[in-house]
Amino acid sequence: MGHPVLRRQARAVDNPRDPELRRLVNDMIETMIDANGAGLAAPQVHESVRVVVFQAPGERADPGLSAEEAFDHTADLTVLINPVIEVLSPAVEGGWEGCLSVPGLRGFVERPAHIRYSGIDLEGRTVSRVARGFHARVVQHECDHLDGILYPQRMRDLSKLIFESEARHLRAEEDEA
Protein backbone atom coordinates (compact mmCIF):
# COMPACT_ATOMS: atom_id res chain seq x y z
CA MET A 1 0.00 0.00 0.00
CA GLY A 2 1.46 3.32 -1.06
CA HIS A 3 3.53 2.05 -3.99
CA PRO A 4 2.65 4.12 -7.09
CA VAL A 5 1.92 1.03 -9.18
CA LEU A 6 -1.00 0.25 -6.84
CA ARG A 7 -2.47 3.72 -7.34
CA ARG A 8 -2.56 4.02 -11.09
CA GLN A 9 -4.88 2.87 -13.86
CA ALA A 10 -3.40 -0.28 -15.38
CA ARG A 11 -3.19 -0.44 -19.17
CA ALA A 12 -5.24 -2.80 -21.33
CA VAL A 13 -3.62 -5.92 -22.79
CA ASP A 14 -3.27 -5.83 -26.59
CA ASN A 15 -2.18 -9.40 -27.21
CA PRO A 16 -3.45 -12.05 -24.78
CA ARG A 17 -1.23 -14.70 -26.42
CA ASP A 18 2.00 -12.83 -25.70
CA PRO A 19 4.41 -15.32 -24.03
CA GLU A 20 5.51 -12.56 -21.65
CA LEU A 21 1.92 -12.29 -20.46
CA ARG A 22 1.77 -16.05 -19.87
CA ARG A 23 4.92 -15.79 -17.75
CA LEU A 24 3.37 -12.95 -15.77
CA VAL A 25 0.19 -14.97 -15.18
CA ASN A 26 2.18 -18.00 -13.99
CA ASP A 27 4.07 -15.76 -11.59
CA MET A 28 0.80 -14.29 -10.34
CA ILE A 29 -0.74 -17.73 -9.74
CA GLU A 30 2.34 -18.83 -7.80
CA THR A 31 2.26 -15.65 -5.70
CA MET A 32 -1.46 -16.03 -5.02
CA ILE A 33 -1.04 -19.61 -3.83
CA ASP A 34 2.02 -18.77 -1.70
CA ALA A 35 0.05 -15.98 -0.04
CA ASN A 36 -2.97 -18.25 0.41
CA GLY A 37 -5.11 -15.65 -1.34
CA ALA A 38 -8.32 -16.02 -3.32
CA GLY A 39 -7.07 -13.75 -6.07
CA LEU A 40 -4.34 -11.46 -7.31
CA ALA A 41 -4.07 -8.54 -9.73
CA ALA A 42 -1.04 -7.76 -11.91
CA PRO A 43 -0.23 -4.41 -10.23
CA GLN A 44 0.39 -6.36 -7.02
CA VAL A 45 3.44 -7.90 -8.69
CA HIS A 46 4.33 -4.46 -10.07
CA GLU A 47 3.00 -4.96 -13.61
CA SER A 48 0.55 -2.24 -14.52
CA VAL A 49 -1.62 -4.28 -16.91
CA ARG A 50 -5.28 -5.29 -16.77
CA VAL A 51 -4.95 -8.92 -15.68
CA VAL A 52 -6.39 -10.67 -12.64
CA VAL A 53 -6.33 -14.29 -11.47
CA PHE A 54 -8.66 -15.78 -8.89
CA GLN A 55 -9.99 -19.02 -7.49
CA ALA A 56 -13.53 -18.50 -6.38
CA PRO A 57 -15.88 -21.40 -5.81
CA GLY A 58 -19.53 -20.72 -6.50
CA GLU A 59 -20.53 -21.16 -2.89
CA ARG A 60 -18.49 -20.17 0.09
CA ALA A 61 -19.25 -18.82 3.50
CA ASP A 62 -18.00 -15.38 4.45
CA PRO A 63 -14.19 -15.60 4.40
CA GLY A 64 -14.39 -14.57 8.03
CA LEU A 65 -11.53 -13.41 10.09
CA SER A 66 -9.45 -16.49 10.52
CA ALA A 67 -5.87 -15.81 9.45
CA GLU A 68 -5.24 -19.53 9.59
CA GLU A 69 -8.08 -20.40 7.29
CA ALA A 70 -6.68 -22.11 4.23
CA PHE A 71 -8.22 -21.16 0.96
CA ASP A 72 -9.55 -23.91 -1.29
CA HIS A 73 -7.04 -24.04 -4.13
CA THR A 74 -8.90 -26.84 -5.83
CA ALA A 75 -11.53 -24.32 -6.92
CA ASP A 76 -11.61 -23.31 -10.56
CA LEU A 77 -8.80 -20.97 -11.51
CA THR A 78 -9.77 -18.06 -13.72
CA VAL A 79 -7.40 -15.81 -15.66
CA LEU A 80 -9.25 -12.68 -16.67
CA ILE A 81 -7.75 -10.13 -19.05
CA ASN A 82 -9.22 -6.66 -19.65
CA PRO A 83 -12.10 -7.39 -17.27
CA VAL A 84 -15.37 -5.49 -17.24
CA ILE A 85 -17.86 -5.67 -14.37
CA GLU A 86 -21.56 -5.01 -14.68
CA VAL A 87 -23.59 -4.68 -11.48
CA LEU A 88 -26.84 -6.67 -11.88
CA SER A 89 -28.63 -5.62 -8.72
CA PRO A 90 -28.39 -2.60 -6.41
CA ALA A 91 -28.26 -4.85 -3.32
CA VAL A 92 -24.95 -4.75 -1.45
CA GLU A 93 -23.48 -7.30 0.94
CA GLY A 94 -20.83 -6.81 3.61
CA GLY A 95 -17.88 -9.10 4.08
CA TRP A 96 -14.38 -9.15 5.53
CA GLU A 97 -11.52 -8.72 3.08
CA GLY A 98 -7.79 -8.96 3.23
CA CYS A 99 -5.17 -8.11 0.64
CA LEU A 100 -1.60 -9.14 -0.04
CA SER A 101 -0.83 -5.45 -0.61
CA VAL A 102 -2.27 -4.48 2.78
CA PRO A 103 -0.60 -7.13 4.96
CA GLY A 104 -1.79 -7.94 8.46
CA LEU A 105 -5.13 -6.14 8.16
CA ARG A 106 -8.76 -7.04 7.53
CA GLY A 107 -11.58 -4.72 6.64
CA PHE A 108 -15.34 -4.96 6.38
CA VAL A 109 -16.39 -3.89 2.89
CA GLU A 110 -19.83 -3.59 1.33
CA ARG A 111 -20.04 -4.42 -2.37
CA PRO A 112 -22.71 -5.26 -4.90
CA ALA A 113 -23.71 -8.88 -4.33
CA HIS A 114 -24.73 -9.79 -7.86
CA ILE A 115 -22.58 -9.00 -10.88
CA ARG A 116 -21.67 -10.11 -14.34
CA TYR A 117 -18.01 -10.05 -15.28
CA SER A 118 -16.44 -10.51 -18.65
CA GLY A 119 -13.06 -10.36 -20.29
CA ILE A 120 -10.77 -12.68 -22.24
CA ASP A 121 -8.46 -15.53 -21.28
CA LEU A 122 -4.89 -16.30 -22.38
CA GLU A 123 -6.19 -17.84 -25.62
CA GLY A 124 -8.18 -14.73 -26.41
CA ARG A 125 -11.50 -16.50 -25.73
CA THR A 126 -14.34 -14.55 -24.19
CA VAL A 127 -15.08 -15.25 -20.53
CA SER A 128 -18.47 -14.09 -19.25
CA ARG A 129 -20.04 -15.18 -15.97
CA VAL A 130 -22.63 -14.16 -13.45
CA ALA A 131 -21.35 -14.22 -9.87
CA ARG A 132 -22.80 -13.74 -6.40
CA GLY A 133 -21.53 -13.64 -2.86
CA PHE A 134 -17.88 -14.38 -2.20
CA HIS A 135 -17.18 -15.03 -5.89
CA ALA A 136 -18.55 -11.57 -6.79
CA ARG A 137 -16.57 -10.00 -3.95
CA VAL A 138 -13.23 -11.49 -5.04
CA VAL A 139 -13.67 -10.38 -8.64
CA GLN A 140 -14.57 -6.82 -7.63
CA HIS A 141 -11.67 -6.62 -5.18
CA GLU A 142 -9.18 -7.77 -7.82
CA CYS A 143 -10.58 -5.56 -10.58
CA ASP A 144 -10.39 -2.56 -8.25
CA HIS A 145 -6.61 -3.05 -8.20
CA LEU A 146 -6.58 -2.32 -11.95
CA ASP A 147 -8.07 1.10 -11.24
CA GLY A 148 -5.69 1.90 -8.41
CA ILE A 149 -8.23 1.15 -5.65
CA LEU A 150 -7.42 -0.81 -2.49
CA TYR A 151 -10.24 -2.16 -0.31
CA PRO A 152 -9.83 0.41 2.52
CA GLN A 153 -10.95 3.03 -0.02
CA ARG A 154 -14.24 1.10 -0.35
CA MET A 155 -14.89 1.05 3.40
CA ARG A 156 -17.66 3.12 4.91
CA ASP A 157 -16.78 2.43 8.56
CA LEU A 158 -13.06 2.53 9.37
CA SER A 159 -13.71 1.16 12.86
CA LYS A 160 -13.97 -2.12 10.95
CA LEU A 161 -10.38 -1.92 9.71
CA ILE A 162 -8.57 -4.24 12.09
CA PHE A 163 -5.40 -6.25 12.58
CA GLU A 164 -5.74 -9.91 11.70
CA SER A 165 -4.29 -10.66 15.12
CA GLU A 166 -7.30 -8.95 16.77
CA ALA A 167 -9.94 -10.65 14.65
CA ARG A 168 -10.65 -13.21 17.35
CA HIS A 169 -12.21 -10.44 19.50
CA LEU A 170 -14.77 -9.67 16.81
CA ARG A 171 -15.53 -13.35 16.41
CA ALA A 172 -16.19 -13.54 20.15
CA GLU A 173 -18.51 -10.50 19.93
CA GLU A 174 -20.37 -12.07 17.03
CA ASP A 175 -20.79 -15.30 19.00
CA GLU A 176 -22.30 -13.33 21.87
CA ALA A 177 -24.67 -11.44 19.61
Using rule CB under 5 A, residue 162 touches Ni ion: no
| Binders of Ni ion in range 12-41 (CB under 5 A) | none
Residue 65, CA atoms < 13 Å, CB-side half-sphere = 20
Report the C-alpha gap between 34 and 18 in whole angstroms.
25
The residue (of 88 and 149) whose beta carbon lies closer to Ni ion is 149
When asked if residue 49 is in the footprint of Ni ion (CB under 5 A), the reply is no
Single out the catalytic residue among 142, 166, 173, 174: 142
* Shorter beta-carbon distance to Ni ion: residue 99 or 115: 99
Dihedral of CA atoms 78, 31, 27, 141 in degrees, nearest 10, equals: 40
DSSP string, 11-59: BPPS-TT-HHHHHHHHHHHHHHHHTT-SEEEGGGGT--BSEEEEE--S-
Given 25, 80, 99, 146, the residue binding Ni ion (CB under 5 A)? 99
CB of 36 to Ni ion, least distance (A): 13
Please, what is the minimum distance in Å from the beta carbon of residue 101 to Ni ion?
5
Q: How many residues bind Ni ion (CB under 5 A)?
A: 1
Under the binding rule (CB under 5 A), the answer on residue 81 touching Ni ion is no
User: How far is Cα 97 from Cα 65, in angstroms, rounded to an integer?
Assistant: 8
Residues in the chain: 177
Is 142 annotated in the active site? yes
- Beta-strand relationship, 92-97 and 126-132: unpaired
Q: CB-wise, 99 or 143, nearer to Ni ion?
A: 99
Catalytic residues: 142
- Contact residues: Ni ion, CB under 5 A: 99
